[in-house]
Amino acid sequence: MTSTRRRMLGVLGAAPLAAGTVLGAEGTARGDARADRDTRSPGPIPEGLGPGGELDRFVADLAARDAFSGTLLITRRGRTVLSRAYGMADRRRDVPITPDTLFALASVTKLFTAVAVAQLVQRGRLSYASTVGTYLDGLPAEIADHVTLHHLLTHTSGLGNHQQAPGFEETAATWTTADQVMDGTLDFIRRMPLSFPPGAADRYSNSGYHLLGTIVARVSGRSWFDYARERIFRPAGMADTDFVTAPRWRRDPGIAHPYVKQPSGERVDDVAGRVFIGTPAGDAFSTTSDMDRFARALLRDKLLAPPFTRTLLGGKLPLGPPTSGPPPKDASPTGPSPTGPADPPPGGGDPRPQATFQCYGPIGVVLADRWTFGHGGGAPGESTGIEMFPDGEWVIVVLGNYDQDTVRPVVGMARRLVAVAG
């Protein structure tokens, strides 16, 4: 049995091993002609990260055991270190996953929303300190007059997840246009009470990021979708990235279908009942190559002026150590709690995080005296993760079409190997 709510966000799955692709350190990520080439040497590549190394063998084993289905890309300064693709994008039509396959990004989409807000702050159109009511009407006073953009970006607003509101699933299933998705979701958020006073605690909030995207649209005079295409995807050279409608998702062989594991162990294609289109909170569609371009454009100040890139990546809210038990719904698989695995990944686990922060979008973690900034997402049939190391310009992207958290071991091992590489 499937639900509309659970389809809103996510990425990953596992299917029989269908394809494996590798590029060595001298290759470049596909489509680099659309981005600035880096003539610097990528430097020595740790043995564990290259073809045939520890990570490569680990992912191949997961895929062989039907525990991973998706794509992996690791780059350094734009040069490909390792590229892999495993599993099936569409089992019924016998379409394998390739490095060019599009995946639903789940909450990795929130990185685009955070960048859009920062761009408008840079232009003087928004202020992080302003309340939501400055830009949107029709919200209750407890939200309009007290919740700021800072609260929304750091998940400290007191808002939760509109997908869990009574009647949301049934109503969302009737939406057939992007406007209906954006406006209909906002209507549900308007009726949601705060679970705590703004700033008093933190709670992962899809509703907060939907409000941010709605504010971007109102202030810019563009639809959220057009703004993201024109101001983020295009400048970053992300030619394949977009917000895909559910009808296209069902028919396009280049888009991975979400496969949801049943109690019996069977994996079922769950694409049929997905919401019409993603939102600022989740489910843009992209490839590993495009997400690598996004990361490099962000780190190289191509999307924001340097002070605003630093502001977006700066730590705003200290986060606690990993906890035991499952992560919250749609938590990122890329960092410590609430965004990382409680159990260490294979191969010895991460170096112990020295500090962890919620930034304006990503989670910032200090590992082995090095910053890494990441985000992830997941839902039934979807699991994603991205990590960016400014020191050395390492980028890790893992996208999949099995259930949430299935990319976590892969991201965890890759992050550990990069962190200790120096």
* H helix runs in 300-349, sequence order: 306-313
The pLDDT score that the predictor gives to residue 404 is 86
Residue 332's nearest CA partner among 282, 371, 388, 384 is 384
SS3 assignment, position 274: coil
pLDDT of residue 405: 84
Look up residue 352 and give its DSSP letter: P
pLDDT confidence of residue 349:
54
State the catalytic residues.
Answer: 107
Place of tokens 């958290």: 405
Residues 99, 97: Cα–Cα separation, whole Å: 7
Beta bridge partners of 80: 27, 75
Alpha-carbon distances of 123 from 116, 130, 243, 305, rounded to whole Å: 11, 15, 25, 10
Q: Are 164 and 191 in contact (CB under 8 A)?
A: no
Confirm if 90 and 257 have CB atoms less than 8 A apart: yes
Which element (helix H / strand E) includes 39?
Answer: none
Q: What is the pLDDT of residue 4?
A: 36
Tokens 């049929």 correspond to 272
Report DSSP state, residue 317.
E
pLDDT of residue 300: 97
Tokens of 1: 């049995």
Residue among 84, 102, 56, 105 nearest 383 (CA): 105
| pLDDT per residue rounded down to tens, the chain (422 residues) | 333 333 333 322 222 223 343 333 334 444 444 445 566 666 678 889 999 999 999 999 999 999 999 999 999 999 999 999 999 999 999 999 999 999 999 999 999 999 999 999 999 999 999 999 999 999 999 999 999 999 999 999 999 999 999 999 999 999 999 999 999 999 999 999 999 999 999 999 999 999 999 999 999 999 999 999 999 999 999 999 999 999 999 999 999 999 999 999 999 999 998 999 999 999 999 999 999 999 999 999 999 999 999 999 999 999 976 433 333 434 333 333 333 433 444 544 557 888 999 999 999 999 999 999 999 999 999 999 999 999 989 999 999 999 988 999 999 999 999 998 86
CB 9 within 8 A of CB 281: yes
* Number of other CB atoms surrounding residue 355 within 10 Å: 13
Closest CA to 215 of 112, 135, 125: 135
pLDDT score at 10: 30
- The whole-number pLDDT of residue 9 equals 32
Q: Specify the pLDDT at position 351.
A: 73
Q: Are 277 and 229 in contact (CB under 8 A)?
A: no
Contact between 359 and 312 (Cβ < 8 Å): yes
Crossing angle of the two packed helices 408-419 and 54-64, in degrees rounded to 10: 170
189: left (phi > 0), else alpha (psi -120 to 50), else beta? alpha
Residue 143 near residue 132 (C-beta atoms within 8 A): yes
Q: What Cα–Cα distance (Å) separates residue 249 from each residue in 89, 147, 234, 272, 282? A: 11, 35, 21, 9, 15
Structure tokens at 179: 């406007």
Q: In what order do the strands lie in the sheet with 382-389?
A: 27-28, 79-86, 70-76, 394-400, 382-389, 370-379, 363-367, 355-358, 317-318
In the chain the domains, ranked by start, together with CATH numbers, are: 1-422 (3.40.710.10)
Rounded CA gap, 225 and 126, in Å? 19
Element (H, E) at 366: strand 363-367
